[in-house]
Amino acid sequence: MIKELVVATRNKKKLEEIKYMLKDLNFMITSLADYDNLPKIIEDGLTFKENAIKKSATIAQYLGKFTLGEDSGLEVEALGNRPGVYSARYSGKNSTDRRNNQKLLKELAKVPLKKRKAKYTCSVAVCDSHGLLGVFEGTCRGIIASRERGQFGFGYDPIFLIPKYNKTFGELGEGIKHKMSHRYKAFVKVRNFILGLDRQRLNPQHL
């Protein structure tokens, strides 16, 4: 039975979302912040999936524990699907959410709203000390707003507009976001997988 899940991240807000989505599972959730002297992970994958697998596999092998690696970001059609895997560091070495949002808005300044279609993508890889167990993905489509709106969430949430509500994730808050976001969709699959894995380990005759 799984007793601990290590989430390969130091992003506190991302960790909070993941804990919320897996809150009913009966094990302890830790992160990279709970361990010292871990190997450095260079996120040099060309896709979210590659980065998620690298994070998960590296930490799982080093700690010998059940580990989850997640990579997600924003793809804007008018920008050739940028920022993509560079979403977190889009504005340079000292990137912040605010700087990333402002850079994106500046690049789209002359693009009309109807052509500002975008997609959030989340890829999650689950590994143990023996290797990769599964990869799960979720997407959420929206439009890039003309300015930052709302105080909820993180990353590009203040400019990611959901047409159905005519509000950004930054305005909608967790109650709605957690029912439709890219991360939510991916973690529904992760949760079901983990539950199935635990049942198999409790009943090895069914393997």
* Active-site hit among 36, 71, 128, 198: 71
Which residue bears the tokens 């690696």? 69
| CATH number where 55 lies | 3.90.950.10
Q: Show the DSSP H helices in the chain as ranges.
A: 12-21, 48-63, 97-107, 169-172, 174-177, 182-202
Mean pLDDT across the chain: 93
Q: How many domains does the chain have?
A: 1
Q: Which amino acid is at 17?
A: E
Give the range of the structural domain holding residue 92, as residue numbers without chain letter.
Answer: 4-206
- d(C-alpha 150, C-alpha 171), whole Å: 4
Ranked by mean pLDDT, the top range of 16-25, 51-60, 169-178 is 51-60
When pLDDT is cut at 50, 70 and 90, the band that residue 171 belongs to is: very high
In the chain, pLDDT over 70 holds for what percent of residues? Answer: 95
* Closest by Cα among 68, 111, 104 to 86: 104
pLDDT for 200 beyond 90: no
pTM for the whole structure? 0.91
44 belongs to the catalytic site: no
Query: How far is residue 82's CA from residue 68's CA, in Å, rounded to a whole number?
Result: 25
Q: Which residue has the higher pLDDT, 201 or 90?
A: 90
Residue 106 predicted with pLDDT over 90: yes
**pLDDT at 174 exceeding the cut of 90:** no
Give bridge partners of residue 128 from the DSSP assignment.
131
**Burial bucket for residue 10 (CB in 10 Å: 0-12, 13-18, 19+):** exposed
